[in-house]
Amino acid sequence: MREVDHRAKLNRRIFLQGAATAVPAVAIGASTGLSIGDAFAEGATTLSPSTLKTLVKVARDIYPHDFLVDSYYITAIKPWDGKAAKDPAVKTLIEDGVKRLDQDAQDRHKMPYAQVPWESDRIVLLRGIEQTAFFAALRSDLVVSLYNQKDLWPKFGYEGSSFEHGGYIHRGFDDINWLPKA
Amino acid sequence: MARFDLNDDGVVVIVGSGAGGGTLGNELAQRGIKVVILEAGARNEIQDFVNDEWDSFAQLAWKDMRTTSGNWQVAKDFPNLPAWIVKSVGGSTVHWAGASLRFDEHEFRVRSTYGAVAGANLLDWPITLAELEPWYAKAENKLGVTRTNGIPGLPGNNNFKVMEAGARKIGYKEVHTGNMAINSQPRDGRGACLQIGFCFQGCKSGAKWSTLYTEIPKGEATGNLEVRPNSMALKIEHDAAGKVTGVVYADADGKTQRQKARVIAVAGNSIESPRLLLNSASNLFPDGLANSSGQVGRNYMRHMTGSVYAVFEKSVHMYRGTTMAGIIRDEARNDPKRGFFGGYEMETLSLGVPFMAAFLMPGAWGRSFTSAMEQYPRMAGMWLVGEDLPQETNRITLDPKVKDQYGLPVASVHYDDHPNDIAMRNHAYGRGAAVYQAIGATTTFPTVPYPSTHNLGTNRMSAKPRDGVVNKFGQSHDIKNLFVSDGSQFTSSAACNPTLTIVALAIRQADHIAGAMQRKEI
Ligand SMILES: Cc1cc2nc3c(=O)[nH]c(=O)nc-3n(C[C@H](O)[C@H](O)[C@H](O)COP(=O)(O)OP(=O)(O)OC[C@H]3O[C@@H](n4cnc5c(N)ncnc54)[C@H](O)[C@@H]3O)c2cc1C
Ligand code: SF4
């Protein structure tokens, strides 16, 4: 079968070589993501850098995909700065939402949300605000702004537009080869 | 291309250019009758379509405001998007998958077959399968339906092969690549399917039948059909004698126009058609046009639906090739021993990553959701579609508060699942999962209904005027020169997809209208 995402094979190789080699790769991924994140947050016009960084963390906690670096979450979150600039109600919604989340984190863990080290603890905090307008707005926007990024589709094994390639008639529409014989 | 004068009162005005309206328009034009089709949407042609789910949604879908209520899941997940249908020339035949099936004989006689079911407003159709058979044959020929007229079936894609293997394993017999209005070989000036896989976004190869590039240009070529895009019908007017005389509509610039008419046919799909009749209330018809029975807007049906997605160890790539690539028909029979009346079809379905994220588990988040998403390349999927029962209280009404851009009340869609629908859906979830588990699925996801793609029943046919809105030709009981030409005529929903029946009824209606005009009855 014609595969789309070759990480499947790659991961196996890394696994065979042992965990030690895998660690640096993961670490590089994470640190690259963070530095992009900082630059983007400093360039914001309306929302504070710390608000934006918290939003990126929240975005990853809502839709955690460990094979996606932060840049995808940043792309998904970035437009909120512009929306907040245009509409004071949006600005208030976002700022108050993040403030509340940080307060909840302070109450429970004595630190802001983004620094709470375990995802499972952060999820408890998110469950606490799940019914708020802030969470609903963020999540319903994110389900489009994250998964609608064309360059992450191949990571999900999805090929996007096919017409310009002549469809799949010669590109594997029926190439499945592992089914039991009927 | 014809252009008719606004004051030409000899034309037939059709509201909507989809399966019903587009077909009727061409059929009348072929018979030498002058027709104006008013279409609310723009004219997007094949070259304008995009292989991108959200961009295409923005281009083609009906996004004007609607409201919802009732216990159905869609009201919770998509409160302002009760239906996923099209606002564009060609209507929902631009989006549709192409599955083209005939009703079973008993599905025209649901009251006689199922008896009195509590909470349901069952009624037999005023026509039988035998009466409709010749029209079904014409419709299949028009649409070029595979496995009819000597047209071979489509080749099965990966998603179908998975479903087929599981189906055979658990003993299902009627399993094939469907009766599809998609060319498996060149026909009618259109090419064969290239397995592009974006059937729901407008077929860029034109292999799939749509009124946009079949009926409409054929009708236009006669010189008898004018299609006016960006023309939203607002109100149907009538004279003192109670005959309809014209349609008031908003043109592309938002300016109000009035097209006079000899006959008017409403084909705006089952939410907008009753809305238009209700918004046309007058002193003579205070409850809306054609509504002496009080049934306009009632008995809204949307099919029992749901999906099952299954994850396998190895890749499937279900998105490659035709979206609805095959069918299991063994559960389509009526067999009350299963705990419900009527039956359902199992049809392959795939969504791309963007829509899968929105529709797999609406509102879900966290690792159980993202883990499911990460299985995307190893997923197979099927859609479950079955008969839902008409209920008087499932209905389209005019929203008391919310208005559209023209200042008219928007449609409010109320739907409660009937216990029969719930029992059928649970049965279907179980059988769908069993199909995939039989060949080693590691996980299955019973997925809740999407916004309605099949919308039916809100101006139903009845033998007696007090039971419904239109007679067996879709002619309103109350007003002789007012017709309904879309799925809102359906008296029952049947297990199968509705469009072949809509088209068959439209061809038959064209014959009736032409005859009645010739005899000067209308
Ligand atoms: C994704 C999807 C997949 C589908 N797959 C299948 C399938 O495989 N098989 C099947 O049988 N069916 C399928 N369907 C359903 C099928 O598309 C519909 O049953 C059929 O198109 C309905 O025909 P219609 O004439 O009632 O309405 P439509 O085709 O929806 O046409 C109605 C038209 O009227 C216009 N309109 C509405 N109100 C006004 C107004 N006031 N003024 C002017 N114009 C107006 C609308 O803009 C629209 O263009 C599918 C639908 C969707 C959305
Ligand atoms: S899969 Fe076939 S029918 Fe569907 S869009 Fe592509 S060419 Fe058209």
Tell me if chain A has a CB within 8 Å of the CB of B204.
yes
For residue B304, give the nearest of B445, B420, B432, B436 by alpha carbon: B420
Residue with tokens 């802001």: A112
C-alpha A156 to ligand 1 mean position (Å): 32
- Contact at CB, B198 and A163, closer than 8 angstroms: yes
Please compute, for residue B347, the number of CA atoms within 13 A of its CA located in the half-sphere on the CB side: 25
pLDDT band at A182 (very low <50, low <70, confident <90, very high): low
The contacts of residue B430 (CB under 8 Å, 6+ apart) are none
The contacts of residue B253 (CB under 8 Å, 6+ apart) are none
What is the mean pLDDT of the segment spanning B482-496?
98
The answer to whether residue A15 scores a pLDDT higher than 80 is: no
Write the DSSP symbol of residue B380: E
Question: Does a structural domain hold residue A26?
Answer: no
The answer to whether residue A31 scores a pLDDT higher than 60 is: no
> Which of A28-32, A34-38, B440-444, B465-469 is least confident?
A28-32
Burial of B278 (0-12, 13-18, 19+ CB in 10 A): buried
pLDDT band at A7 (very low <50, low <70, confident <90, very high): low
- Asked if B21 and B504 count as a contact pair (C-beta separation under 8 A), the reply is no
A147 contacts on B by Cβ (under 8 Å): 353-354, 356-358, 373
Question: Does a structural domain hold residue A135?
Answer: yes
The answer to whether residue A22 scores a pLDDT higher than 50 is: no
- Contact at CB, B156 and A174, closer than 8 angstroms: yes
Write the DSSP symbol of residue B36: E
pLDDT for position B438: 98
Question: Does a structural domain hold residue A10?
Answer: no
**Per residue in B363-417, pLDDT tens?**
999 999 999 999 999 999 999 999 999 999 999 999 999 999 999 999 999 999 9
Distance CA B239, CA A39 (A): 69
What is the mean pLDDT of the segment spanning A125-146?
97
The DSSP bridge partners found for residue B13 are B36, B264
The answer to whether residue A35 scores a pLDDT higher than 60 is: no
pLDDT band at A41 (very low <50, low <70, confident <90, very high): confident
Tell me if chain A has a CB within 8 Å of the CB of B57.
no
Question: Does a structural domain hold residue A117?
Answer: yes
Tell me if chain B has a CB within 8 Å of the CB of A79.
no
- Check residues A77 and A6 and name the one with the higher pLDDT: A77
The answer to whether residue B448 scores a pLDDT higher than 50 is: yes
Count the domains in chain A.
1
The mean of the pLDDT values for chain B is 98
Question: Does a structural domain hold residue A36?
Answer: no
Tell me if chain A has a CB within 8 Å of the CB of B176.
no
How many residues does the structure list for chain A? 182
ipTM over the 0.90 cut-off: yes
Which structural domain range is residue A62 located in? 43-165
Question: Does a structural domain hold residue A134?
Answer: yes
pLDDT for position A11: 44
Q: What is the 3-state secondary structure (H, E, C) of A47-62?
A: CCHHHHHHHHHHHHHH
What is the mean pLDDT of the segment spanning B176-182?
98
B158 contacts on A by Cβ (under 8 Å): 172-176
- Contact at CB, B320 and A172, closer than 8 angstroms: yes
Tell me if chain B has a CB within 8 Å of the CB of A156.
yes
The answer to whether residue B13 scores a pLDDT higher than 90 is: yes
Distance CA B23, CA B505 (A): 10
* Tokens standing for residue B85: 């249908």
Chain B residue closest to A141 (CA)? Answer: B358
C-alpha B84 to ligand 1 mean position (Å): 9
Nearest CA to ligand 1 atom 2: B96
- Asked if B271 and B413 count as a contact pair (C-beta separation under 8 A), the reply is yes
Q: What are the two backbone dihedrals, phi and then psi, of residue B98, each rounded to the nearest 5 degrees? A: 105, 0
At residue B52's C-alpha, the angle toward residues B48 and B54, to 5°, is 105
C-alpha B88 to ligand 1 mean position (Å): 10
- Cβ–ligand 1 distance for B327 under 6 Å, the answer no
Count CB pairs under 8 A between chains A and B.
Answer: 133
The contacts of residue B210 (CB under 8 Å, 6+ apart) are B90, B93, B94, B96, B202, B203
The contacts of residue B498 (CB under 8 Å, 6+ apart) are B454, B456, B487, B490
pLDDT for position A37: 55
pLDDT band at A33 (very low <50, low <70, confident <90, very high): very low
Q: pTM value? A: 0.95
- Asked if A47 and A94 count as a contact pair (C-beta separation under 8 A), the reply is yes
Mutation to probe ligand 1, out of B39, B269, B346 (largest number of atoms < 8 A from CB) = B269
The answer to whether residue B157 scores a pLDDT higher than 70 is: yes
Question: Does a structural domain hold residue A9?
Answer: no
Angle between helices A133-145 and A49-62 (to 10 degrees): 70
- Asked if B455 and B300 count as a contact pair (C-beta separation under 8 A), the reply is yes
- Contact at CB, B315 and A161, closer than 8 angstroms: no
The answer to whether residue A30 scores a pLDDT higher than 70 is: no
Question: Does a structural domain hold residue A174?
Answer: no
Tell me if chain B has a CB within 8 Å of the CB of A146.
yes
The answer to whether residue A12 scores a pLDDT higher than 60 is: no
pLDDT for position A16: 39
For residue B489, give the nearest of B280, B288, B279, B268 by alpha carbon: B268
Question: How far is Cα of residue A87 from the mean position of the Cα atoms in its chain?
Answer: 25
Chain A residue closest to B371 (CA)? Answer: A65
